[in-house]
Amino acid sequence: PVANATITPSPLSHQVHAGDPVTLHCSVQVGSAPVTFTWLHNGQEVAQGAILDLGDVDVGLLGSYQCEATNQLGQDRQHMFWALSPDLALEVTPQGHGDTVTAGVYGSLLFLVLLVAVILAWHQWH
């Protein structure tokens, strides 16, 4: 029987930026060959195989991913074993959001420095 199905994301983070390439790998700790892997996204089957290549992700790919591993005892379809991985919640951050916040902070600091410089110059002139 198969047991302990797990998902390993590449890169090793549940939160990625839009446009980043993401690949999910499914493996089992216990299980005799052949093992079949089925991928679920928000409970719906989306692919087969041990590797799910999401490519350059966008916000439409966020959600819950699971891998289902199955094998059978010989040719007897009555003895099918399966293991479902824990949920992997993928969070996709829109590209450039962090850059926008950084630019806003630096812009505000620059404004304050210029304001202080103008006040000091005006004060010295008078």
The reply to whether 104 falls in a domain is no
Between the CA of residue 32 and those of 27, 45, 68, 73, 119, what are the distances in Å?
Answer: 12, 23, 15, 9, 77
pLDDT at residue 40 in the model: 95
Is it the case that residue 50 has pLDDT exceeding 90? Answer: yes
The reply to whether 11 falls in a domain is yes
The reply to whether 111 falls in a domain is no
- Model confidence band, residue 100 (pLDDT cutoffs 50, 70, 90): very low
The reply to whether 125 falls in a domain is no
The reply to whether 10 falls in a domain is yes
Is it the case that residue 82 has pLDDT exceeding 50? Answer: yes
pLDDT at residue 77 in the model: 59
Q: Into how many domains does the chain fold?
A: 1
The reply to whether 124 falls in a domain is no
Instruction: Return the SS3 of 104.
Output: helix
**What secondary structure letter does DSSP report for 56?**
E
| Residue scoring higher pLDDT (21 or 72) | 21
The reply to whether 28 falls in a domain is yes
Mean pLDDT of 81-109: 68
Is it the case that residue 54 has pLDDT exceeding 50? Answer: yes
The reply to whether 102 falls in a domain is no
Backbone angles phi, psi at 32, to 5 degrees: -90, 150
pLDDT at residue 102 in the model: 45
Structure tokens at 56: 């350059």
Task: Report the CATH number at residue 75.
Answer: 2.60.40.10
Mean pLDDT of 22-49: 91
Mean pLDDT of 31-39: 87
Entry pTM: 0.68
pLDDT at residue 21 in the model: 92
* Domain boundaries, position 8: 3-97
